[in-house]
């Protein structure tokens, strides 16, 4: 083998090794790319306290169409309190009870939020009305700020 041929074959080998390590490096970084969270009711935000600044959307064209209706999306309890799509027609609170994490429901007949586990009750503004049945104590609910654009109601989890 002449010197030129040896250098060429050596260069080709080094190039193949570099290409291989670059490809594996690129593949690894792709798996670490954050996946953007889709908006809307199918959003992937977490329940409970949520992350500061997380927005949770609801479509008023198909959800909360009647006064007294409520739904939980991504840890947010949305309630329609009045007709129309004004901000004052809605409230949004945390969806899990501060006592022990029970699910919260809006009881239209009583005009309050009630826990499904130990029946603690809260106003639509999140204030405690009655403590858990059977002992223990709970605290006021987090209430989230709302915005309406078109038929999209958005709660900002802060």
Site of interaction with ligand FES (CB under 6 A): 97, 99-102, 115, 117-118, 120, 132, 138
- Taking the complex as a whole, the smallest distance from the CB of residue 67 to ligand FES amounts, in Å, to 25
Q: Residue 70 in contact with residue 106, Cβ under 8 Å?
A: yes
- Comparing CB distances to ligand FES, the nearer of 41 and 118 is 118
| Closer to ligand FES by Cβ: residue 117 or 140 | 117
Q: How far is the CB of 137 from ligand FES (least distance, A)?
A: 9
Q: In angstroms, how far apart are the furthest CA atoms of the chain?
A: 95
CB atoms closer than 10 angstroms to residue 74: 23
User: Is 28 or 135 the residue whose CB approaches ligand FES more closely?
Assistant: 135
Q: Residue 128 Cβ, how far from ligand FES at the closest point, in Å?
A: 10
| DSSP output for 46-83 | -STT--TTEEEEEETTTSS-STT-EEEETTEEEEE-SS
Q: Decide: 157 and 75 in contact? Cβ < 8 Å.
A: yes
7/45 Cα distance (integer angstroms): 56
Which of residues 77 and 115 has its CB atom nearest to ligand FES in the complex?
Answer: 115
User: Shortest approach of ligand FES to residue 22 CB, angstroms?
Assistant: 53
């Amino acid at each position: 083998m002449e010197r030129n041929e040896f250098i060429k074959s050596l260069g080709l080998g080094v190039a193949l090794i570099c290409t291989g390590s670059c490809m594996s490096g690129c593949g690894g970084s792709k798996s670490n790319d954050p996946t953007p969270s889709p908006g809307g009711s199918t959003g992937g935000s977490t329940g409970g306290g949520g992350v500061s600044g997380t927005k949770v959307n609801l479509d008023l064209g198909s959800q909360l169409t009647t006064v007294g209706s409520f739904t939980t999306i991504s840890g947010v309890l949305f309630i329609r309190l009045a007709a129309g799509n004004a901000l004052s027609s809605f409230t949004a609170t945390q969806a899990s009870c501060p006592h022990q994490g029970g699910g919260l429901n809006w009881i239209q007949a009583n005009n309050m939020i009630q826990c499904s586990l130990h029946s603690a009750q809260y106003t639509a503004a999140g204030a405690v009305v009655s403590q858990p049945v059977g002992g223990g104590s709970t605290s006021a609910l987090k209430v989230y700020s709302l915005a309406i654009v078109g038929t999209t109601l958005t709660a900002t989890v802060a």
